[in-house]
A and B are shown apart, each in its own frame.
Chain A
Amino acid sequence: GQQLNQSPQSMFIQEGEDVSMNCTSSSIFNTWLWYKQDPGEGPVLLIALYKAGELTSNGRLTAQFGITRKDSFLNISASIPSDVGIYFCAGLSAGSYQLTFGKGTKLSVIP
């Protein structure tokens, strides 16, 4: 089956620092999604990417759909304490109904 490798697994950063995380796949995806999960909550969609090479921003968050369609990254600029949580990437193949998820990046922000 399809596999998504998400890295890093966890990060500890100082408030104000920028953060970068990425996902790579063994196969091609047509859609890349980035979610954030707060403790005790369900994942919430941050950014959706539909086109190879696409670069999309949502406030301090920027995500890119890799040219090869096998990778994506998420950057968070000027981190703040409320950025704490687990970030998941997810990929969708053409015509597929099944999302494949990475195992998540746990972000901790030190004030």
Chain B
Amino acid sequence: NAGVTQTPKFQVLKTGQSMTLQCAQDMNHNSMYWYRQDPGMGLRLIYYSASEGTTDKGEVPNGYNVSRLNKREFSLRLESAAPSQTSVYFCASKAGSNTEAFFGQGTRLTVV
């Protein structure tokens, strides 16, 4: 049982480059999330998708776009990476509104 799978695990980008972080879950969950984690800041929500076909902004959406490709997959895109986007990115999924979230292992992104 894979749970939540994120790819890639590590990435180094140059300022201005674009890339897409991939996330897939095999738990048939309705809701999916993207968080970033920075030292001393905890986990901050970037975007989420409450259900297939919907996406909403979280606390820190600027500089990011998302796509809920289908029920299983939720991708995060950086169109023009900036050093301030150096962070660890976590994808998570939940079955419904009042349930616990399960996390992937993270993508460590460095923008130079």
Contacts and interface: CB of A to CB of B under 8 A. Distances in A.
A98 B105 contact: no
Interface in B73-97: 90, 94, 97
Given A97-B48, A98-B58, A44 B103 contact: yes
Nearest to A101: B43
Interface stretch (A14-22, A53-61, A87-95): A87-95
A111 interface: no
Contacts of B103: 35, 42-44
Contacts of A43: 43, 90, 103
Interface string A96-107: 111101111000
Contact of A97 (B50, B102, B105): B50
Interface residues of A, number: 27
A7 interface: no
Contacts of B104: 42
A84 interface: no
B94 A97 contact: yes
Contacts of A30: 98
Contacts of A92: 97-98
Interface residues of B, number: 25
Nearest to B96: A97
A88 B98 contact: no
A104 B44 CA distance: 12
A103 B41 contact: yes
A48 B98 contact: no
A97 B42 contact: no
Nearest to A35: B103
Contacts of A102: 42
Interface of B: 4, 31, 33, 40-45, 48, 50, 58-59, 90, 94, 97-106
11 contacts: A35-B103, A41-B106, A42-B104, A42-B105, A45-B102, A88-B43, A94-B98, A97-B50, A97-B94, A99-B101, A101-B43
